[in-house]
Chain A
Amino acid sequence: MAKVKMPRKSVSLDMTAMCDMAFLLLNFFILTAKFKPEDPVTVDMPGSISELKMPDVGVMTISVDKDNKVFFGVEGQFVRREMLKLFAGQYKIGYTPQEEQEFMNLSTFGVPANQLRTILNMSNAERNKPGVQPGIPIDSADNQLKDWIAQARYADKVVAATNGTESKGLRIAIRGDKATNYPTIKKIITTLQDQNINKFNLITNLEGAPELAGQ
């Protein structure tokens, strides 16, 4: 019997091309990834079947934690700086350039106006400890949230004007905890309505839509 000689084939294949592609994609995803900024507030959001995504740009977020403390955050470092300047002017507080710089990096905060400086002079880890920030006052007698919102909207316009673009207006998103009580949410909604903001978003977790029989 004649032996059939099988040609030996190498099992190693050229992975250069695949490797190239893998790293290209890796680079893309690393560069586009937005890291979650450190938050001083933990919010356990309720679920809903809504599949609308959060808009990409120009959002201000009002977070409310389970102890009904209100936190505020706006996107865009320059908007934040402008907002702080306007707010400082309104409340007659002067901030040093270092403090302004610090505020630019502050994605979310929840302190009354008179404690803002203390927070700005803290380290990041310190100020994000639970309980350090007592929340922004939203009582009708002292509604600082209203001022922040008004100044943020104005600051957004100012920044857009300096960039030579038209501002699309800031969208408003409320991020409430499951256990937040309704009066707090209502106060926020009233605050928004007082400024003629009748359209806003509630941030929720995704939940599967149930099947409805006989629909």
Chain B
Amino acid sequence: MAEIDTGGGGGKKKGPKKQSTKVDMTPMVDLAFLLITFFMLTTTFNKPQVMEVNMPDKNNEDKTQKLNEKRAMTVILGKDNNVYYYQGVNNPEVKKTNYSDEGLRKLLLDKKKEVRQVTGKDIFVVIKATEGSNYKNVVDVLDEMSITSIPIYALADITPADLDLLKKNNLE
């Protein structure tokens, strides 16, 4: 099959023509590298990031520890991207903030420092999400915890007492 090109009718015989065996491979290499880049990028960036969440064991309720009131800070995720927070447990003053860098993050950093100075121990943050909050809010708050490197925090259910507290302070 490769010998088909023998030079027309066969009248003139000048011997085999010397043809270069070299092929210009530039376009092929170009294409190959393009595809390599494509596959490399798609394979490495395909894996999504994950956040790990550990919830307390429900069956071990008796293990819940009593917390020092001064260390506890509660963050309530309200609707329309509002965040409410209070410190302590007994009749606290509820304040409002937001998810921005200047809002929640600054607040957490300040409180963390303050609690450290007052009690000598780490702050404990309880996160309570209301029905009006969405998944992004929860992830944002959990993310703030890792940004501000707060070691102890918990996702808890919102209680009627908390809702009353919000109502009393005319925040909702």
A contacts, CB < 8 Å to B: 12, 15-16, 18-19, 22-23, 25-26, 29-30, 32-34, 36, 45-55, 64, 173, 175-183, 185-186, 189, 192-194, 196, 198-207, 209-210, 212, 214-215
Chain B residues contacting A207 (CB-CB under 8 Å) are 143
Chain A residues contacting B136 (CB-CB under 8 Å) are 46, 178-179
B51 & A204 in contact (Cβ 8 Å cutoff): yes
Q: Complex: how many Å from CA A52 to CA B29?
A: 36
Q: Interface size on B (CB < 8 Å)?
A: 52
A-B contact pairs, 20 of them (CB 8 A): A15-B26, A22-B33, A29-B43, A36-B46, A46-B139, A48-B143, A48-B146, A49-B147, A175-B48, A178-B136, A179-B135, A181-B133, A182-B133, A185-B138, A189-B55, A193-B58, A200-B52, A202-B53, A204-B143, A215-B149
Q: Complex: how many Å from CA A15 to CA B27?
A: 11
B contacts, CB < 8 Å to A: 22, 24-26, 28-29, 32-33, 35-36, 39-40, 42-43, 46-59, 77, 101, 105, 109, 129-140, 142-143, 146-149, 155, 157
Q: Binding site of A, secondary structure by majority: helix, strand, loop or mixed?
A: mixed
B135 & A182 in contact (Cβ 8 Å cutoff): yes
A210 & B33 in contact (Cβ 8 Å cutoff): no
B51 & A29 in contact (Cβ 8 Å cutoff): no
Q: Complex: how many Å from CA A194 to CA B157?
A: 15
